[in-house]
């Protein structure tokens, strides 16, 4: 079922685990993620960047694709279809109008007052349609959709101010970056904890790829309830596809080429879900234990 992220994130905040946000790029990835999360029997957020939306044809195509897969694959877990880093009110509105159940408005490149103004506009429109809203303060650095940006850490005061717009979740930039890290990530856990203690809404960690699992666990204990993963699935898929192509240089069927990375994507999801939600026992693992 397509839902907004409120119930899933509020439960995660209460129970101290994190819901995965996986970015999707095409039909196959969406299918693999839905199948694996259904097997885990856990809710999932499908993140769509503006670049990915353009690549796949547009917001309506993606909404129909996701709804079709939910029906055909008999997916029963809660699925949130979320615009990742919406760059303007207009883009967020387009996604809402196409049936996305959640949007992120990322006006973090502006000064706080402008960020608040744009975010508030999005909140008013999205909430009138039952759509949840995430916003960003400070700036998560790194590379996304081939655009590079520097890190600016969020302050507690700015987080409190932005939360007054009525957003449902907040992504405070605290040192994580999109894409691959050069060296160890340097996350400000003290500020993360402080922000969490001062806000009622769930917190989001962007740039989940490459953060060591002990740091992910610490971030969850400091109040992170949603973790965004994009590059990690791309890298793992790419490794397996390269191997497949080397071993089968004459295979040209795109179904075989693309799906040669299916197992590694699913295994990576399985591994991440265990880190994000260590108390969860997936139905399959439970069955294996009993046998
Ligand atoms: P990574 O590509 O570093 O996993 O970041 C994903 C992300 O934060 C999407 O918003």
139 φ/ψ angles, rounded to the nearest 5 degrees: -145, 120
* Model confidence at 117: pLDDT above 80: yes
Q: Which tokens belong to 204?
A: 């989001």
Q: Is 274 part of the annotated catalytic residue set? A: no
Distance (Å, whole) CA 223 – CA 151: 21
Q: How far is the CA of 23 from the centre of ligand 1 (A)?
A: 8
Ligand 1 atom with minimal separation from the 23 CA: 9
Ligand 1 pocket by C-beta < 6 Å: which residues? Answer: 23, 47, 84-85, 178-179, 206-209, 228-232
Within the chain, how many helices (H) and strands (E) appear? 13, 11
pLDDT tens digits, one per residue of 163-198: 999 999 999 999 888 888 878 888 999 999 999 999
Strand pairing category for 147-149 and 141-144: antiparallel
| pLDDT, tens only, 252-286 | 999 999 999 999 999 999 999 999 998 888 776 66
- Alpha-carbon span 24 to 29, nearest angstrom: 6
Domains of the chain with bracketed CATH: 6-290 (3.20.20.70)
What is the pTM (predicted TM-score) of this model?
0.94
Q: Which of the residues 84, 106, 168, 188 is marked catalytic? A: 84
Beta strands at 177-178 and 141-144: parallel, antiparallel or unpaired = parallel
């Amino acid at each position: 079922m397509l839902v907004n992220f409120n119930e899933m994130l509020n439960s995660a905040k209460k129970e101290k685990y994190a819901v995965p946000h996986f970015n999707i790029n095409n039909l196959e990835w969406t299918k693999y993620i839905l199948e694996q999360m259904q097997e885990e029997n856990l809710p999932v957020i499908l993140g769509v960047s503006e670049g990915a939306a353009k690549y796949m044809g547009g917001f309506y195509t993606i909404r129909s694709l996701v709804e079709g897969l939910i029906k055909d694959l008999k997916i029963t877990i809660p699925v949130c279809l979320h615009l990742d880093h919406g760059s303007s009110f207009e883009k967020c509105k387009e996604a809402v109008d196409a049936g996305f159940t959640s949007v992120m408005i990322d006006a973090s490149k502006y000064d706080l007052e402008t960020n608040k103004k744009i975010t508030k506009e999005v909140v008013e429109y999205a909430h009138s349609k039952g759509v949840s809203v995430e916003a960003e303060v400070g700036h998560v650095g790194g590379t996304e959709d081939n655009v590079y940006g520097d890190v600016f850490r969020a302050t507690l005061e700015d987080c409190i101010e932005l939360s007054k717009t009525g957003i449902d979740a907040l992504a405070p930039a605290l040192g994580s970056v999109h894409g691959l890290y050069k060296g160890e990530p340097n996350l400000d856990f003290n500020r993360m904890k402080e922000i969490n203690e001062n806000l009622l809404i769930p917190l989001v960690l962007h740039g989940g790829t490459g953060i060591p699992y002990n740091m992910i666990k610490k971030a969850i204990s400091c109040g992170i309830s949603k973790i965004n993963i994009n590059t990690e699935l791309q890298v793992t898929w790419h490794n397996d596809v390269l191997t497949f192509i080397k071993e089968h240089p004459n295979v040209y069927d795109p179904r075989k080429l693309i799906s040669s990375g299916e197992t590694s994507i699913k295994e990576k999801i399985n591994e991440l879900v265990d880190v994000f939600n260590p108390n969860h026992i997936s139905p399959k693992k439970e069955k294996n234990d009993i046998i």
